[in-house]
Amino acid sequence: LGLVKEGAAMHRILLRLLLGIAIAEEATEAPKEEDGVLVLHDKNFEGAINNNPFILVEFYAPWCGHCKQFAPEYARAAQQLKQAKAPIPLAKVDATAEARLAEEYGIRGYPTIRMFINGKDQEYTGGRTEQSIVTWVLKKAGPPAIPLVDVANAEAFEKENTLSVVAFFAEGAAQDAFEAAARQVEDVMFAYTTEPSVAAKYGVTPPALRMSFPHDENHATFTGNMDRADEIQSFVRAYRQPMVSTFNGETAADIFGDGRAILFLFREKDEKGDVAEAELRKAALSIQRRLLVSVAGSTEPMDQRLMDYVSVEPEELPTVRLVANPMASMIKYKLEGDLTESSIMAFVNDFEAQNLKPHLKSEEAPTSQTGPVYTLVGSTFDSVVLDPKKDVLVEFYAPWCGHCKKLEPVYRDVAKILEPVKSLVVAKIDATANDVQGADIEGFPTIKFWPANKKGEPPLDYDSDRDVDSFITWLEEKVSLPFNKE
């Protein structure tokens, strides 16, 4: 697709050069600006891309809540990048009005952001705040780290980049690990110097690394191995967030994308919430950024989505949850009892020693099973699904899911036909009301199969058609305890 796009764009440019007209005409009609952001549409999009070696473009929908929330951050980033030594424009396209452009660039959700470098587009992978946008764009447009030649240069760099890293090297020293880390951390500006006067200004002896940030201590010095890129990355990522972060729509992506386990306090705006947060902040000093510590409310839509996601009920507040692997097979832990500095630290220490049991949400187990499909809940899942004498097929569904409702009669017929096969269980579980371990659920319905002789291995994904005959044929092939469908 990229080659097709590139070839088509080149063909249009050559055609216009041959005709000798349209390029000059297009150049005279500059895109309009709104809050420093270029407004692009079908007639001026190509000209903006061709006239700017670097340009960031947001495809948005006017009705999109995330787009509205993102707009002021994007506008402030645009104003800041206009003041850069080599200005880089930010632009936007109303994808609901510009259907051709939306189709050409495969826009399926909002906002979708693309960086165009010499006409070729790539996905924007930075954060949703002003500074993270600016840093990401500048790093894409330049080297992974910039040289600082004197003290004035270094001071100006720190002033311009509130979130930044400076490495200090002796002349000729290897910088490979530092450069590798700088390439991997996209939303923090990196610089380096071999000038002794700059090292003296900051009181460091090369090799050394110093990070500046707009929160807490404001700066920190790296004490790890300068030849280990992974250690440098871990240090930078730990300090790029405040010691205690506030969870909201602007910070959610950064918090979940951080990579560390997350310790959440959910609180109301009341005295009990104030006391709980004070205890959490005291504990955070001892945690020393080994975990990401965050405070969430309960009234905003984003707070409520997070509460649903990590299984918090309003009547529990204030309460603490620890979330491990937040971007993968998330595992949740619940702090029981009073919220004090000592109880929080004991909870964290037990987590780090792997002494905690996951907190799994579960409905009440049904008193009896009605119908051919076995109904599972969180508390009964392991005893049924991991039974080594049974092959078990499980549908993970959501009550509101239209595809699940469409599948229901087919799945019931499969279970009815196979009901005489006592070595096989056809089951279902409401994945919105029950938590289980060992199954990554990314959509509904998700159907997984646990063979009797492979309970210690990851389940198989059902990957055939969703009709009765296909289900039965697939099961005949995958079961470890053979059956005859007749």
Active site residues per annotation: 64, 67, 401, 404
Distance CA 247, CA 268 (A): 13
Cα dihedral angle (311, 313, 314, 320), rounded to 10 degrees?
-60
User: In b/e form, how buried is each residue of 295-315, taking b as 16+ CB within 10 angstroms?
Assistant: bbbbeeebbeebbeebbbeee
**Which residue, chain included where needed, has tokens 């998700």?**
446
- Give the list of residues 6+ apart from residue 189 with CB closer than 8 angstroms, or none: 135, 138, 139, 146, 157, 161, 163, 164, 165
Supply 407's token pair: 């599948």
Distance CA 280, CA 265 (A): 8
Phi and psi at residue 178, to the nearest 5° = -60, -45
Distance CA 60, CA 57 (A): 10
Contact (CB, 8 A) for 116 and 51:
no
- Give the list of residues 6+ apart from residue 195 with CB closer than 8 angstroms, or none: 148, 149, 150, 151
Q: Check residue 30 and report its DSSP letter.
A: P
Supply 480's token pair: 């470890």
Supply 342's token pair: 């000592």
